[in-house]
Amino acid sequence: MKAAFILNPAAGRGKALQMEATLQNEAQRLFPGAPIVRSARPGHARNLAAQLGGTHDTVIAVGGDGTIHEVVNGLMENKAALGIVPVGTGNDLVKALNIPRDTQAALQLIRNTPPRPIDVGRVNDGYFINGLGIGFDAWVVKRSLSVKKLRGNLVYLYAVLATLGSYSHCTLEIDMDGNQSGQDLFLMTIGNGPSLGGGFKLTPGARLDDGWFDICTIRKMHIPRVLRNLLRVYRGTHIHDPRVEISRCREITVRSTIPFAAHADGEALGYDLTELKMSVLPGALHVYCNY
């Protein structure tokens, strides 16, 4: 195996930088000669992955969901496999793939387990591996970036509660595999994996290797009803609410004359969007995991 590492020093609120020396020791023991390259700015990990994936058969992302998102986008330009050393806040993809949180165990997994094919979502001219959110959760992502004193899932829980007072709904025209509808929605999730936002199981039945998107649409609802469903989303039992609909598709287009917000894998796509085209790419990326 010819491996290379991409480390986001800001991941995990700086935890990745603190563990760099430990990572270097373990990496050189298990992957002699493997370079460890730091990403320096938003979007840099994507460029590094595109470059390193052309000269290495494995590129290992050291960071959280955002770092993994960038590396995945870079690796779609070549045939390198993805390894992950988790250092992040939400780690939704890591949980879905059953990757150890311990650095040494994650590296041993990459060293000793062959990678397996995982589906990837395409959105316009980019990609996502775990999920895409439209509406409320996109604004939650924006709010979470300003939270400095909390850690882990508390970041997202605080951002949810802080966003509720200022958000209403989004009006969308939706085409799922040729089936068209227009809806006023609280949010819409295109799930490749089962959870987003630090454990919100919006698409609890989604699988990363089945060639389908799971779609969760939640119709416009008032704050008291949102609060009643909040804990249910952590358990994935919100799907029993009559305002929640779960469906499946391979291609989906979303349009609106009223600009909407969206994120992919927790990374903002924009806050004044008018159209997104998404499709699932079955088995498009090989990933080291226990899935």
- Domain 127-284 fold is Tumour Suppressor Smad4 (2.60.200)
Choose between 168 and 78: higher pLDDT: 78
The whole-number pLDDT of residue 150 equals 74
- Which of 79-83, 136-140, 174-178, 215-219 has the weakest average pLDDT? 136-140
Give 187's pLDDT tier (boundaries 50, 70, 90).
very high
Whether the CB-CB separation of 60 and 85 falls below 8 Å is answered with yes
Q: Is the pLDDT of residue 224 over 90?
A: no
Mean pLDDT, to the nearest integer, of 129-150?
A: 86
So which residues are the catalytic ones? 267
pLDDT class for 12, splitting at 50, 70, 90?
low
What pLDDT, in 10s, does the model give residues 33-84?
Answer: 999 999 999 999 999 999 999 999 999 999 988 899 999 999 999 989 999 9
Q: Which CATH superfamily is domain 3-113 in?
A: Probable inorganic polyphosphate/atp-NAD kinase; domain 1 (3.40.50.10330)
Q: What does the pLDDT read at residue 13?
A: 66
Which region among 69-78, 118-127, 152-161 has the lowest average model confidence (pLDDT)?
152-161
Q: HEC string of the chain?
A: CCEEEEECCCCCCCHHHHCHHHHHHHHHHHCCCCCEEECCCCCHHHHHHHHHCCCCCEEEEEECHHHHHHHHHHHCCCCCEEEEEECCCCCHHHHHHCCCCCHHHHHHHHHHCCCEEEEEEEECCEEECCEEEEEHHHHHHHHHCCCCCCCCHHHHHHHHHHHHCCCCCEEEEEEECCEEEEEEEEEEEEECCCCECCCECCCCCCCCCCCCEEEEEEECCCHHHHHHHHHHHHHCHHHHCCCEEEEEECEEEEEEEEEEEEEECCEEEEEEEEEEEEEEEEEEEEECCCC
Q: How confident is the model at residue 21 (pLDDT cuts 50, 70, 90)?
A: confident
Q: Average pLDDT in the 176-189 region?
A: 95
Return d(Cα 252, Cα 52) in angstroms, integer.
Answer: 32
Mean pLDDT, residues 131-157: 82
User: Is a pLDDT exceeding 90 seen at residue 107?
Assistant: yes
Domain boundaries, the chain: 3-113, 127-284
- Residue with more model confidence, 98 or 153: 98
What's the pLDDT score for residue 271?
95
**189 confidence band (pLDDT: 50, 70, 90):** very high
The overall average pLDDT reported for the chain is 92
Asked whether this chain's domains 3-113 and 127-284 adopt the same fold, the reply is no
